[in-house]
Structure 1
Amino acid sequence: MNEETFNLSIRKFLKVVGVSSQREIEQAVSKALADGKIAGTEHFPVSVILELPGVQLNVRFDGEIHLE
């Protein structure tokens, strides 16, 4: 295994996930605000499930997103 190639591919994947996830969350919150479904002072539980079937990895990460 080439450690450098491995690490670069992980970082590339995580960058895509991070940027895309942030964009999706921002759009969902903006729409909910515009539709009057939320006030903008909430905090929301959030989770992500990371799966890598080739090595039987399935792990969940939990957190919170605060609007204020």
Structure 2
Amino acid sequence: MDEEELNSSIRKFLKMVGVSSQREIEHAVARAVQQAAISGTETFPARMTLEIDGLRLKAEFDGEIRLGAPGAAP
């Protein structure tokens, strides 16, 4: 096993996931605000699932997405 190749491919994958996930969340928030479905001050529970079938890996990560406090400056 080539540790350097492994680490490089993991970093590349995580960067792609991070950038793509952030873009998807931002678009979803903008859409919901535009449609007046949310006020823009909510906090949403969030879950990310990482699956790698060949390694029999399934890991879930829980967190939250906070849009801002009511009355806070933009």
- TM-score (normalizing by structure 2): 0.91
Identity of aligned residues (%): 59
2:29 match: secondary structure:
helix
**Deviations along 1:18-58, whole A, 9 cap, x unmatched?**
00000000000000000000000100000011001111000
From the CA coordinates, give the structure whose radius of gyration is larger.
2
Alignment RMSD, CA only?
A: 0.3
User: What stretches of structure 2 of length at least 5 have no aligned partner?
Assistant: 69-74
User: What stretches of structure 1 of length at least 5 have no aligned partner?
Assistant: none
Q: How many residues align?
A: 68
Larger relative helix fraction:
1
- TM-score (normalizing by structure 1): 0.99
Moved over 4 A (4+): none
